[in-house]
Amino acid sequence: MKQTQKGFTLIELMIVVAIIGILAAIAIPQYQNYIARSQMTTGYSTVRSLVTAAEEMVQRNIDPSLDPAEQGFVGLKTDASTLGTIAITTPGANTKIVFTYDKNVTPAVKGKTLTLVRDNDGLWSCETAGGLDIRYVPDGCTNI
């Protein structure tokens, strides 16, 4: 009577483990890049949502060092993000909204800043600083 083989051989199992290892070696760094990009984009969208309130502060000539909630800007909090802190500086033509990634972020973006700057014409531009890798810079920003 002929016996049939049941199960996998050792070499077949080793090949499967090797393939999984290769996929993991590629996937984990890509996932880290994805996380860093998503954190930068989240910070950008958070700061971008404050442009209207900051523009109103400029138009009303309100000192940005004052608590925005006391000035009637509901929802404008400098500690609202879980990724970093927000600062609004220099009222007038050169108003800046600075997002510093200093909380729960990956090492690739830790300590980096994203700044929205208002020019004399009232247009806002985005800049990043701190040696940020170009791969993580959100669309519409420049890397300094």
Helix (H, G, I), strand (E, B) or coil at 141: strand
Q: Is residue 33 part of a domain?
A: yes
Q: Is residue 103 part of a domain?
A: yes
pLDDT at 12 over 80: yes
Residue 54 near residue 118 (C-beta atoms within 8 A): yes
pLDDT of residue 92: 62
* Number of structural domains the chain divides into: 1
Q: Is residue 3 part of a domain?
A: no
Confidence (pTM): 0.74
pLDDT of residue 17: 96
As a whole number, mean pLDDT of residues 5-15 equals 88
Q: Is residue 74 part of a domain?
A: yes
Burial class of residue 35, CB neighbours in 10 A (0-12, 13-18, 19+)? middle
Q: Where in the sequence is the domain holding 17, given as residue range(s)? A: 10-143
pLDDT of residue 88: 80
Q: What is the pLDDT of residues 24-75, one digit of tens each?
A: 999 999 999 999 999 999 888 888 888 887 777 777 777 655 555 555 555 5
What CATH number does residue 32 fall under?
3.30.700.10
Q: What is the pLDDT of residues 79-133, one digit of tens each?
A: 556 888 888 876 666 788 888 888 888 888 898 989 998 888 888 888 888 788 8
Q: Which of 39, 140, 54, 41 shows the shortest CA–CA distance to 97?
A: 54
